[in-house]
Amino acid sequence: MIKFFKIILSLLLSLVVIMFMVVFIAYISVWPSVWATRWAFSLTSYERDENYLSIENNVIVSEEYTYESNHGKNTFNIIYPKETNQALKTIIWVHGGAFIAGDKKDVQEYMVVLANQGYAIVNMNYQLGPKAKYPTPLIQINELYQHLEKNAKKYSMIDTKNIVLAGDSAGAHIIAQYTLIQTNPEYADLVKITPMINPSYIDSVILFCGPYDFQTLSHMFKTTKTPTSILNNIVSFLAKRIGTAYLGDKNWQTSNKWDELTIKDYLTEAFPKTFLTDGKKYSFEQQGKELVTKMKEKGIEVTDIFYEAELTHEYQFNLGTIHEDGNNYAQMTFEQLKIFLKD
């Protein structure tokens, strides 16, 4: 019996040591947080439109193309209506994934439904952190656009002079920042990235569920004395590590350098008309509302969609989901997006 208890005690001590090592490694390296985040995103799926299969028959998803880049994951697909015989308004889409995860395939079904409305969509990948640090995604959008211009004859369905810049989650931040670079010369100088797209070629911007202020990210989920406080603290910890993985700066929360990532502080009236939406649950609704307020102050045309219902982050992709109150909020938002893009 004594031997049995010794074995149990030894196993428990080993488990404690292993847990301590895991926690220790998580604090000194970003990789455990990166792996955990990527695993979580790999489980993500969205409820497709009930008519998706018939819509899919109307649309072409191209082979995977490569754009010239010094960084990895430099691939894209073009999604467009069948029997297209002219250049279409072109949406360049940047996927989300907390800057360190995700893939263009995650949003492909939504892109198919959107392309069915008469648009060519360039659904791009980009190198993720921590392998590539900020501002790599911004550089890669430049590289993609250069590639599209240089190969205009090959991509005859693309109109590089009629562009919609769009992104979801982390991709929304990347796109908002990229648009600032194209429309605010002082901001382009600040971040040291050369503007690539003539501002007159940018028709509009789509921002889905994005964070727009890095300085609040690691604190926004902090709560005390609530049933979800443990989960909130885990999310807050991951947010800190994600910032380090993407920016390459473990002190990013206290460095003034990263003030440049707060989108609302650099808006000008030259920013294109914008469609912006977000949900309340584990998302960035308050940051979205603050950005909308600043846009309106600057005279920027903005269509903002917020609901009273408790909608989750990236709710807009769940085109087949009926909320408990009987509404399909994703479809309601999609209808508004259709109107926005037609104007």
CATH of the domain at 336: 3.40.50.1820
The answer to whether 104 and 124 have CB atoms below 8 angstroms apart is yes
With contact defined as beta carbons under 8 Å apart, do 22 and 78 qualify?
A: no
Structural domains of the chain, count = 2
Same domain, 12 and 161: no
Supply the pLDDT for residue 120. 99
What confidence category does residue 266 fall into, taking pLDDT thresholds of 50, 70 and 90?
Answer: very high
* Residue 225 within any structural domain of the chain: no
Same domain, 14 and 68: no
pLDDT, tens digit, 9 for 90 and up, residues 274-329:
999 999 998 999 999 999 999 999 999 999 999 999 999 999 999 999 999 999 99
Instruction: List the structure tokens of 321.
Output: 């989901």
For residue 14, give its domain range.
1-31
Q: What is the pLDDT of residue 228?
A: 57
Per-residue pLDDT band for 6 (boundaries 50, 70, 90) equals: very low
117 and 12 in one domain? no
Q: 65 and 128, same structural domain?
A: yes
Alpha helices in the chain (DSSP H): 2-28, 31-42, 52-56, 108-115, 136-150, 170-183, 185-191, 214-217, 229-247, 285-297, 329-342
pLDDT the model gives residue 234: 76
CB count within 10 Å of CB 59 equals: 18
Is there a single domain that holds both residue 52 and residue 25?
A: no
Q: Structure tokens of 129?
A: 């952190």
Same domain, 159 and 27: no
Residue 37 in this model has a pLDDT that exceeds 60: yes
- The residue among 12 and 306 whose pLDDT is bigger is 306
Q: Which residues pair with 121 in a beta bridge?
A: 79, 91
Same domain, 101 and 174: yes
Say yes or no: 105 and 65 in one domain: yes
pLDDT at 129: 96
Is 241 inside any structural domain? no
pLDDT > 60? residue 19? no
In angstroms, the Cα distances linking 161 to 112, 142, 280 are 22, 14, 35
In a domain, 238, yes or no: no
Check residue 22 and give its pLDDT: 37
Name which residue leads in pLDDT, 8 or 327: 327
User: Taking 90 as the threshold, does the pLDDT of residue 23 lie above it?
Assistant: no
Euclidean distance between CA atoms 171 and 192, whole angstroms:
20
**Same-domain pairing of 297 and 167:** yes
pLDDT at 99 over 60: yes
- Residues 263, 173 contacting (CB under 8 angstroms): yes
Asked whether the predicted pLDDT for residue 77 surpasses 70, the reply is: yes
pLDDT at 231: 65
Task: Please give the model's pTM, rounded to 2 decimal places.
Answer: 0.90
122: CB partners within 8 A, 6+ apart: 76, 77, 78, 90, 91, 92, 93, 144, 148, 158
Return the pLDDT at 227: 54
* Residue range 228-238: mean pLDDT, rounded: 72
149 domain-assigned: yes
Q: Across the chain, what does the average pLDDT equal?
A: 91
Quick check: is 226 in a domain? no
Asked if residue 218 belongs to a domain, the reply is no
258-270 mean pLDDT: 97
Q: How far apart are CA 197 and CA 199, in angstroms?
A: 6
**CA-to-CA distance for 172 and 187, rounded, in angstroms?**
18
CA 8 to chain centre: 47
pLDDT of residue 303: 99
Q: What is the pLDDT of residues 135-153, one digit of tens each?
A: 999 999 999 999 999 999 9
pLDDT-derived band at 220, boundaries 50, 70, 90: low
**What pLDDT is recorded for position 254?**
86
Domain match, 22 and 165 both: no
Residues 180, 272: one domain? yes
**Residue 3 pLDDT exceeds 60:** no
Sole residue written with tokens 């909320």: 323
Q: Same structural domain for residues 140 and 20? A: no
> Is residue 239 included in any domain, yes or no?
no
Which two structure tokens, joined as six digits, stand for 258?
Answer: 């990263």
The pLDDT tens digits of the residues spanning 160-214 come to: 999 999 999 999 999 999 999 999 999 999 999 999 999 999 999 999 999 999 8
